[in-house]
Amino acid sequence: MCRGGKAIQKSIQQPVVLQTVDYWRMAKLFRAVIMGPPGSGKGTISERIAQKFALTHLSSGDFLRENIAANTAL
């Protein structure tokens, strides 16, 4: 393994110190767009983020499927 790889490996093994975060305040400021190919876990990670920060998960795919099923004009 190269020297740089060893440095990365050592940094991963060090304990991580977490700071107290005001999640409610962060949720008010937090905006994210998660993109990726089908089946890559976008919905899964989006739901986890939404739950952790008390956000609403909006999915353009869900909106599109609902409108197609309702036969609305797009």
Structure tokens that stand for 31 in this block: 């905006």
Q: Give the rounded distance of the alpha carbon of 53 from its chain centre.
A: 11
| Phi and psi angles of residue 61, each rounded to the nearest 5 degrees, phi first | -65, -40
pLDDT of amino acid 21:
64
CA distance 20 to 13: 22
pLDDT of amino acid 37:
92
pLDDT of amino acid 40:
93
CA distance 42 to 46: 6
Q: pTM above the 0.85 mark? A: no
pLDDT of amino acid 1:
45
Residue ranges of the chain with per-residue pLDDT less than 50: 1, 4, 7-8
